[in-house]
Each structure stands twice: as structure tokens, then as C-alpha cells.
Amino acid sequence: MSATKTFGTFFLPGPTEVREEILTAMLQPMIPHRGPEFEALFERLQEGLRPLFKTERPVYISSSSATGMMEAAIRCAPSGRILCLVNGAFSERFAHIASMCGRDVDRYDVAWGQVHAIPQLEERLAMRKYSAVTVVHSETSTGALNDVHAVSDCAHRHGLVCLIDSVSGLGGAELRFDEWNLDYVLTGSQKALALPPGLSFGVASTSFIDRANATQGRGVYFDLVELDAYARRNQTPSTPALSLFYALEAQLKSIAAEGLEARWARHKGMAARTQEWLIKISDETGKKLNNIAPLGSQSPTVSAIRLPTDLQAERFTAAVAKRGIVLGNGYGKLKSSTFRIGHMGDHTLESLERCLAACSSVLHS
């Protein structure tokens, strides 16, 4: 059965469902990656990627998972202690990467599902000298959306760089690299961009790259200084995952045709519909379900939903799977108490309705 016929069944918060025409694009032949044909392809990709990040800067394309570009952020950040904002599993991962790269790390933890308050961040930055702050835009484990514009501005007031993970945000949640004066943003291919896993992307400001030039121990594969230099020549430092580049080109055309603001609005609409459904199904069944992220701080791309204590998440998602819809289980310490709907990528309100109907069927049974 083709991906087109089954589209709307796969609601994991990554990897997301990929349309058949995007998968077919990967069947194009290999070309040398050190030659004019590849450079023309890379230039076309830049023309599609820059609007996604809302930037005039080069967009780095790494043949790796987004974890690689997280490590790149840490390795290339200015020397000194790093403050990691932690509110879920992936922000915790950012802190772990920083620690494993030999950096001195402090954590500003809030409850999973919550977001970081700027006044408290101001206090912490005033108490100790740091060189960088890490923050996750859309925390995929909890569906919480941090105000990375405000976090970045706060970091800048204290003379720090802000390293932003927007893995499940970019392409679905508003982000404006140049206008917001951001330092570094990374994302992955398999979330709101609705591509297969295997590519990650990053953008760094000119000042960040200038400062990275003086940073020791940047490594090789994830050296942003080298990625920047090669991108300016429409090249990659190492052998690229060429088939995924073809898929990327096809998807960037679709994203451009929709329009980024329209794409943001579509994702907001799916998140709002999910919240509306939560209230309705709770009233109908007497089973209390709630989004663990507060209103106003809910990601437009993923909802993490707490189930009643007598309903185990693994049992619930298995029952929904029997109705033809694949949901995400809860993540980490939320595994058995929550499930996650990845309303991102190329999903629409129409495909989301099929997902919510399957969930409703289980809850009514």
C-alpha cells in the first residue's frame, strides 16, 4: 500500500510521516559531490532553507541526526561555563552533551511541561559568569514551547550566546533568525519538515562564527567554522547523504508553495483542535485528560497528553494502533502517564481528525 493511500496514520512526534513523492525523489542517481552539479543542487537548497530560518545567513546541512548539531553548538561555543535550561528529556540531553564535551555546566530546571521564566533566568545569569545558555524551543517530550526570542534577548543582556534546539519547532513554530538577532539554531529533518531522518541543519550568526574561530577543541565533523566556509562555496566538508538532499529539495518546493506563515498557521490550528478535543472528550467520558504544557506555552507541533491514573499510556496507544493510528508513547519519566500526538509536518486538520477519532473510540470503549 502506498504512502499516499495511508497518509494520516503515523502521528509519532518524529520521525513523522513522509509523503510518497518525497520518498520517490530519493531515487535519483548519484552525482559527484565535488563538482558543479552538486554545487548547483546545494545552492538551490540554500534558496529554500534560508526562508525557513528567516535568515540571509548560510544554512549548514549535516548528514547526521540533530544530536550532531547540538554537539556542534557546544564544541563551538565560547569557552566558559554554560547554563542549560532543562524542562524535558531533550533539554536534558543538551545539558548532557555539554557535560560530556568537557564543559562546566549548571542547570536551570523547571518541571517537565513547564517553560522557563525570564525574571528567574535574569537572576541566575546575574549570580554567576557564563559564556552560553542552551534552550529547547519545542520540547518534544512534553510539548512545551519556550519563548526563545525572550531567552536569547536575556542572554544577550548578560553578554552570552544563546544556543537553540528547534528540532521539533522549525517549520511548524514561528522562528525568525535574523529579526530576533539569534546566535545559533539547529533542527532535524524528521520532525516538522516531514523528511526522512538523517539530516540536520544549523544557522549561526556572523559574530558566533567569529568567536568560534578562537574556540579550541571544536573537533572535525561538527566544526561550524568549517561548515560555514564550505557552505559559502555551496559545498559540504564531508560526503553528504545525497539521496536525502534530493528529498529535501522536493520538500522545500512544497513548503515554499504553501508559504511559511501559512505553515505556521496550519500547525497552530492543529494544536488548537487537539486542545479543543481534550476538553470535549474529558466531558463526554468523565475521564480527565489534559495537555501537560500550560495554555500559552503549548507547542504547535506536538501535544503531550496526561491520561487518567487508571489508564496506562502503553495500553492506550496499543489500542489506538489497532484502529490504524500510530501515536507516540510518553517519553522518559512520562512514559506510562502520557501519550504524544505529533501534529506536525504535512499533517492537516483532516488527517488529525482521523487520529482524534481513533483516540475517542478507545476512550469511549
Average pLDDT over residues 249-266: 98
Report pLDDT for 6: 59
Q: What is the pLDDT of residues 127-145, one digit of tens each?
A: 999 999 999 999 999 999 9
Q: How far is CA 323 from CA 154, 207, 355, 359, in A?
A: 47, 52, 9, 9
Assign 4 a pLDDT band (cuts: 50, 70, 90).
very low
Given a contact cutoff of 8 angstroms between Cβ atoms, the answer to whether 273 and 360 are in contact is no
pLDDT band at residue 21 under the 50/70/90 scheme: very high
Q: Give percent of the chain above pLDDT 70.
A: 98
The amino acid sitting at 39 is E
What is the structure's pLDDT at 8? Answer: 75
Given this model, what pLDDT does residue 355 score?
98
Mean pLDDT, rounded, for 299-318: 97
* pLDDT over 90 at 5, yes or no: no
Q: Taking residues 341-362, what's their average pLDDT? A: 98
Note the pLDDT tens digit of each residue in 61-109: 999 999 999 999 999 999 999 999 999 999 999 999 999 999 999 999 9
Residue among 247, 336, 285 nearest 45 (CA): 247
Residue 94 CA to residue 159 CA, distance in Å, equals: 21
pLDDT at 1: 30
* Integer Cα distance of 283 and 252 in angstroms: 41
Grid coordinates given for 113: 511541561
Mean pLDDT throughout 107-132?
Answer: 98
Q: What is the domain partition of the chain in residue ranges? A: 3-14+259-364, 20-258
- How is the chain split among helix, strand and coil, in percent rounded to 5? 45, 15, 40
Tell me the average pLDDT across 36-61.
98
Taking only the tens place, the pLDDT of each residue in 27-44 is: 999 999 999 999 999 999
Phi/psi of residue 248, each to 5°?
A: -60, -45
Which residues is 338 bridged to in the sheet? 306
Q: pLDDT exceeding 90 applies to what percent of the chain?
A: 98
Choose among 339, 354, 171, 195: nearest CA to 266: 171
Q: CATH 3.40.640.10: does it fit domain 20-258?
A: yes
On whether the 3-14+259-364 domain is CATH 3.30.460.10, my answer is no
Query: Residue 79 class from Cβ within 10 Å (0-12 exposed, 13-18 middle, 19+ buried)?
Result: middle
| Predicted pLDDT at 2 | 38
Mean pLDDT (the chain, rounded) = 96
Q: What number of CA atoms fall less than 13 Å from residue 146's CA on the CB side?
A: 35
User: Does residue 3 have a pLDDT over 70?
Assistant: no
Q: What is the mean pLDDT of residues 328-354?
A: 96
